[in-house]
Amino acid sequence: MARKKSKKKPRLLQGNEALVEGALAAGCRFFAGYPITPASEISEILAHRLPQMEGTFIQMEDEIASIGAVIGASLAGAKSMTATSGPGFSLMQENLGFACVAEVPCVIVNVMRGGPSTGLPTNPSQGDVLQARWGTHGDHPIIVLAPSSVRDSFDITVKAFNFSERYRTPVIVLSDEVVAHTRETVVLPDPDEIEVLDRIKPSMPPEWYIPYEDTSSGVPPMGIFGDGYRYHVTGLIHDIRGFPTMRTDEIEPFMRRLFRKINQSFHDVQIVHHFMTEDAELVVIAYGSVARSARRAVLDAREKGIKAGLLHLVTLYPFPRRDVVATISDAKAVLVPEMNMGQISREVKRVNEGMSRVATLNRIDGSMISPQEIYEWLLKEA
Amino acid sequence: MAEITKLVHKYLRHDKKFPHVWCPGCGNGIVLGAMIRAIDRLAYRKDDIVMISGIGCSGRLPVYVDFNTLHTTHGRALTFATGVKLAKPELKVIVVMGDGDATAIGGNHFIHAARRNINLTAIIINNNIYGMTGGQYSPTTPYGMKATTAPYRNIEHAFNIAELAVTAGAVFVGRGTVYHARLLDKLIEKAFVKRGFGVVEVITHCHTQYGRRNRMGDAVAMMQWQKEHAVRVEKAADMSEEELKDKFTIGVLVDRDLPVYTEQYELVREQARDSIPS
Ligand SMILES: Cc1ncc(C[n+]2csc(CCOP(=O)(O)OP(=O)(O)O)c2C)c(N)n1
Ligand code: SF4
Ligand SMILES: [Mg+2]
């Protein structure tokens, strides 16, 4: 095949548009969704694009159905995604747990808007962080990633697909209204510059296939419906063959493996960006669109000679404890600005164990946190 | 080995730990038997079949058989099935649901799957009760009957599942019972070969949870009840409303042709490809 000409040219894109480009570049070929602001553009663009590339788009009757279809499509071999906002994300929680326990790769985008309930449909928020972590019932590990810019929306969606395939797990992309609707000029990478991972499929003869057998990675190869590896998929806790079990000696290893496959991969899945943290006495820990305000504030503070730094969390869960602890242990004070009443700040306080003083800056009025607000705190603490 | 036993062994999973979860005398096994016989007659490949269920006693049906099987969440089987079918239209997708599963918690998915005419078969095992959770009333528990959550009597009116499917747009709708075994075999086979959304409502007994509480006797007595209350649709056409009062119809309620979703989507893809500027 002839090498395609580089399509690299600057494009003016919204976060939601870049997110779609990332999904398609990662190999997403199935999307099911239900309209909701501020995520609707994702559906609209994919309704247009997917059928052009042998993919499938369907608008389902609600968000429960959307995630159900996404899980089904993934079991049949398609990389699959859905996108929603708070009210729809709440409806998805039960089936999200199904994807965790049946180990079905899929990507769930939640473009956060103000809540609770119908809340503030067109205003940003970061109110769903803990829901993303704990929203579905029962103990389970989960991967949650938060883009902060248009370019990020592309890169992080690619990562989300890669993680979901590599670890056979749902991955949640927590965008927010500001990231989703801001337009920026970006240059997106060419396909050959992107690492795209696919799930590991069984290679042994079907009669040897044990669908939920432990492996060193904790991730068993995934049989695809129709490929000859007939097996049982269930939301019940199951034995290594996939059949429901109530035996303690089968339940425990299964649950442990679910956690282990993520826990032993922190080095891969925990993404953070350090910005001037090396000698920082005042550390800001931020994510999503707030991380950009924080970056500006840190730059302004540095100009005033204040030793400020930003730890930008891309991975919210599994919570990047090691990076956070290393960054804040010598800090004079730490600020966690969030568009909620304090959700990631709880995690920071939990791992801080009294080492540093942790302050919060919370906005819940539907507007974003400005660089000025963070800068003022840095000035005050300096 | 008897022919029927051989057939069962051909499709049962041999690595599955038995016994099964159903009460002795439950009708679920008869429905599974009818499905297996139809699959065998049609010579479908095991690898091509995806059997999908919701949650309930009925939901446990796929685990025993050697196909690609998927036991989903309560009420949502059709949503998962929609994803499977759209991602791999060449697969034969069969969905099994209970009455509560399909018409209470999953009622919305049921009417929308019918409306879309998504190409799959939905088999609804209607035992007029929530069997698995211990006998609470369902959307098909008849008016006046008893359930653990209607200890005095049920004051809600029952859905007619097959009629609901017809109205929602299903292209094939049949109703059978576990007593009329040969008819059931035929209905299921017809639904399997139908292009589009085919529904078979199977009237069955839950003697454990529903029969006992309503003094309907054991499994045999309840099958006797099915025999006495079922009327062939052809015959019902000549009967008065009065004569049909306590009866229900069995047979093919609808068999029509409408555009099939997966085929339509293929046309959309062509249109979409043509729209790309070259
Ligand atoms: C979301 C949710 N709600 C409730 C339940 C509990 N539950 C399990 S089975 C069932 C009812 C099953 O009734 P039906 O669908 O008629 O199936 P049957 O057991 O009669 O075959 C219920 C309510 C559940 N598993 N999930
Ligand atoms: S409770 Fe009823 S439906 Fe469930 S297995 Fe027993 S008889 Fe069958
Ligand atoms: Mg029932």
Q: A113-148, pLDDT tens digit by residue?
A: 999 999 999 999 999 999 999 999 999 999 999 999
Q: Is residue A376 part of a domain?
A: yes
Q: Alpha-carbon dihedral of residues A36, A38, A44, A50, nearest 10 degrees?
A: -100
pLDDT at A284 > cutoff 70: yes
Distances (CA, A) of A179 to A14, A41, A173, A182, B40: 8, 13, 12, 6, 54
Give the atom of ligand 1 at the shortest distance from the alpha carbon of B99: 16
Q: Is residue A304 part of a domain?
A: yes
Distance from CA of A57 to the nearest CA of B (A): 9
pLDDT value of residue B14:
86
Q: What CATH number did the domain enclosing A279 receive?
A: 3.40.50.920
Number of domains chain B is built from: 1
A97-115 mean pLDDT? 98
The reply to whether A35 and A126 lie within a common domain is: yes
Say if residues B80 and B52 touch (Cβ distance below 8 Å). yes
- State how far the Cα of A154 lies from the Cα of A184, in Å rounded to an integer: 12
| Banded pLDDT at A1 (limits 50, 70, 90) | very low
Backbone torsions φ then ψ of A126, nearest 5 degrees: -130, 35
| Banded pLDDT at B278 (limits 50, 70, 90) | confident
Residue A39 exposure: Cα atoms within 13 Å on the Cβ side: 26
- Residue from the list A56, A69, A235 with its beta carbon closest to the beta carbon of B71: A235
From A209, A235, A208, select the one nearest A224 (Cα to Cα).
A209
Backbone torsions φ then ψ of A34, nearest 5 degrees: -135, 135
Q: Is residue B151 part of a domain?
A: yes
If you ran DSSP here, which 8-state letter would residue B59 be given? G
What tokens does A377 get?
């705190």
B89 CA to centre of own chain: 21
A41-70 mean pLDDT? 98
Q: What CATH number did the domain enclosing A71 receive?
A: 3.40.50.970
pLDDT at B256 > cutoff 70: yes
Q: Is residue A249 part of a domain?
A: no
A314-339 mean pLDDT? 97
The helix or strand, by DSSP H or E, that contains position B198, with its residue range, turns out to be strand B198-203
Q: Alpha-carbon dihedral of residues A278, A313, A323, A103, nearest 10 degrees?
A: -160
Parallel, antiparallel or unpaired: strands B248-255 and B172-177: antiparallel
- State how far the Cα of A52 lies from the Cα of A41, in Å rounded to an integer: 17
Q: Is residue B141 part of a domain?
A: yes
- State how far the Cα of B244 lies from the Cα of B170, in Å rounded to an integer: 24
The reply to whether A15 and A101 lie within a common domain is: yes
Residue A363 sits in which domain range?
A: 271-381
Residue A174 exposure: Cα atoms within 13 Å on the Cβ side: 27
Say if residues B114 and B143 touch (Cβ distance below 8 Å). no
From A79, A97, A85, A84, select the one nearest A142 (Cα to Cα).
A97
- Residue from the list A52, A68, A234 with its beta carbon closest to the beta carbon of B76: A68
Ion ligand 3: residue ranges with CB closer than 5 A? B 98-99, 127, 131
Q: What CATH number did the domain enclosing B45 receive?
A: 3.40.50.970
- State how far the Cα of B40 lies from the Cα of B57, in Å rounded to an integer: 24
Parallel, antiparallel or unpaired: strands A56-59 and A28-33: parallel
Q: Is residue B96 part of a domain?
A: yes
pLDDT value of residue A6:
65
If you ran DSSP here, which 8-state letter would residue A80 be given? E
Parallel, antiparallel or unpaired: strands A315-317 and A143-145: antiparallel
Q: Is residue A227 part of a domain?
A: no
A336: β partners: A360
Length of chain B, please? 278
Structure-token match 């049962």, residue found: B12
pLDDT value of residue A5:
61
Say if residues A160 and A171 touch (Cβ distance below 8 Å). yes
Backbone torsions φ then ψ of A279, nearest 5 degrees: -110, 20
| pLDDT tens digits, A16-37 | 999 999 999 999 999 999 999 9
pLDDT value of residue B5:
83
Q: Is residue A251 part of a domain?
A: no
pLDDT value of residue B207:
98
Say if residues A288 and A147 touch (Cβ distance below 8 Å). yes
| CA terminus-to-terminus distance, chain A | 59
The helix or strand, by DSSP H or E, that contains position A317, with its residue range, turns out to be strand A315-317
Q: Is residue A352 part of a domain?
A: yes
- Final residue in a domain of this structure, among A136, A159, A193: A193
- Final residue in a domain of this structure, among A163, A193, A223: A193
**CA-based torsion, A215, A92, A242, A236: positive or negative:** positive
| Burial class of residue A85, CB neighbours in 10 A (0-12, 13-18, 19+) | buried
Q: Is residue B186 part of a domain?
A: yes
Cα-to-centroid distance, A175 and ligand 3 (Å): 41
* B103 Cβ inside 6 Å of ligand 2: no
Q: Is residue A232 part of a domain?
A: no
| Banded pLDDT at A8 (limits 50, 70, 90) | confident
pLDDT at B210 > cutoff 80: yes
pLDDT value of residue A3:
53
Say if residues B97 and B121 touch (Cβ distance below 8 Å). no
Q: Is residue B85 part of a domain?
A: yes
- Final residue in a domain of this structure, among A137, A159, A193: A193
Q: Is residue A144 part of a domain?
A: yes
Residue B83 exposure: Cα atoms within 13 Å on the Cβ side: 35
Q: Is residue B216 part of a domain?
A: yes
Q: Is residue B142 part of a domain?
A: yes
| pLDDT tens digits, B7-59 | 989 999 988 777 889 999 999 999 999 999 999 999 999 999 999 999 999 99
Cα-to-centroid distance, B4 and ligand 1 (Å): 31
| pLDDT tens digits, A170-201 | 999 999 999 999 999 999 999 999 999 999 99
The reply to whether A289 and A174 lie within a common domain is: no
The helix or strand, by DSSP H or E, that contains position A98, with its residue range, turns out to be helix A86-102
Contacts of B126 (CB under 8 A, 6+ apart): B98, B99, B140, B161, B201, B202, B203, B204
What tokens does A95 get?
């089936």
pLDDT value of residue B117:
98
- State how far the Cα of B88 lies from the Cα of A77, in Å rounded to an integer: 8
The helix or strand, by DSSP H or E, that contains position B69, with its residue range, turns out to be strand B68-71
Q: Which amino acid is at B75?
A: G
Q: What is the mean pLDDT of chain A?
A: 97
A175: β partners: A111
Number of domains chain A is built from: 2
- State how far the Cα of A287 lies from the Cα of A337, in Å rounded to an integer: 9
| pLDDT tens digits, B144-166 | 999 999 999 999 999 999 999 99
Measured between beta carbons, the chain B residues lying within 8 angstroms of A66 are 79
* B131 Cβ inside 6 Å of ligand 2: yes
Q: Is residue B93 part of a domain?
A: yes
- Residue from the list B66, B80, B88 with its beta carbon closest to the beta carbon of A68: B80
Cα-to-centroid distance, A72 and ligand 3 (Å): 24
Residue B253 sits in which domain range?
A: 27-233+240-273
* B205 Cβ inside 6 Å of ligand 1: no
What tokens does A157 get?
């969606």
Say if residues A337 and A174 touch (Cβ distance below 8 Å). no
